């Protein structure tokens, strides 16, 4: 078998009230070997909304898959319609569950990442569903501290956030505040600072260490160094 990147339309929910989600789905060549596979839920940035799935191949895991690189993950890359943002965490979890019924997704190695608006979505998923994710890696993103100030929900979720210290779209100072607040609350937060870089740090997704870091984590387990 060869790796496959396919476009799908998935009906998520009960048939009478199903939401239809457009997505790219990457399946490794060895996905039929009977094993469960680590899975990345990749959330795109604001400029990739719409109905053209080709937009999602601009960077990140979808680009790597489109270029024929053999990734050691299943990759789920849904696409938002124009004007929407990643606030429907329930829908995303239902999408993962629906795809898990058809593909060998390992529930203990489910990861979320995304760029800019997609990174905010990854943060939000960790807040809403910390019990579902083994780790998250938001890129150039933050969420208001009001989500986290009185919550210990994310303490068990390993987080590695990437941020340029010259980012003026998602201010670097806000990322630092989130990181420090999570650490003070006993969270497992790391902040990778890209010195002199602005908001557009999409090359982070080309770094093999990002994926090695994700694979060091299983849901409910200590880090594997």
What is the C-alpha separation between 163 and 80, in angstroms, rounded?
23
Q: How far apart are the first and last CA of the chain?
A: 32
CB contact at 8 A, 165 and 172: yes
In this prediction, residue 14 has a pLDDT band, given cuts at 50, 70 and 90, of: very low
Check whether 134 has a pLDDT greater than 50.
yes
User: What percent of the chain is predicted at pLDDT more than 70?
Assistant: 85
pTM of structure: 0.91
Of residues 147 and 202, the one with the higher pLDDT is 202
Position 208 confidence tier, pLDDT thresholds 50, 70, 90: very high
Tell me the C-alpha distance between 123 and 125, whole Å. Answer: 6
pLDDT, one tens digit per residue, over 37-57 is 999 999 999 999 999 999 999
Query: For position 17, what pLDDT does the model report?
Result: 42
Confidence check: pLDDT of 136 > 70: yes
Where residue 147 falls among pLDDT bands split at 50, 70, 90?
A: low
pLDDT band, very low/low/confident/very high, at 16 (cuts 50, 70, 90): very low
Residue 213 contacts residue 137 (beta carbons within 8 Å): yes
pLDDT band, residue 223 (cuts 50/70/90): low
| Domain 4-215 CATH superfamily | Alpha/Beta hydrolase fold, catalytic domain (3.40.50.1820)
Tokens of 134: 């083994």
Strand arrangement, sheet containing 105-115: 4-12, 19-27, 74-79, 37-43, 105-115, 135-139, 159-164, 189-194
The angle subtended at Cα 136 by Cα 183 and Cα 32, nearest 5°, is: 150
Q: Which of 19-28, 110-119, 164-173 has the lowest mean pLDDT?
A: 19-28
Residue showing tokens 């489109």: 66
């Amino acid at each position: 078998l060869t790796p496959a990147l396919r476009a799908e339309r998935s009906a998520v929910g009960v048939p009478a009230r199903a939401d239809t989600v457009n997505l790219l789905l990457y399946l490794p060549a060895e996905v039929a070997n009977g094993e469960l596979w680590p899975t990345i839920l990749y959330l795109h940035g604001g400029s990739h909304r719409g109905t053209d799935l080709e937009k999602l191949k601009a960077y990140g895991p979808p680009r790597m898959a489109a270029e024929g690189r053999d990734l050691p993950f299943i990759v789920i890359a849904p696409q938002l319609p124009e004007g929407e943002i990643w606030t429907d965490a329930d829908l995303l979890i239902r999408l993962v569950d629906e795809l898990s019924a058809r593909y060998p997704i390992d529930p203990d190695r489910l990861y979320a990442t995304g760029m800019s608006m997609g990174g905010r979505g990854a943060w939000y998923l960790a807040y809403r569903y910390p019990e579902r994710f083994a780790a998250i890696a938001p890129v150039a993103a933050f969420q208001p501290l009001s989500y986290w100030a009185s919550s210990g929900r994310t303490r068990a979720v390993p987080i590695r956030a990437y941020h340029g210290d010259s980012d003026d779209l998602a201010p670097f100072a806000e990322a630092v505040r989130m990181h420090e607040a999570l650490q003070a609350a006993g969270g497992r937060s790391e902040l990778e600072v890209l010195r002199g870089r602005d908001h557009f740090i999409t090359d982070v997704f080309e770094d093999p260490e990002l994926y090695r870091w994700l694979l060091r984590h299983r849901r409910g387990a200590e880090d594997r160094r």
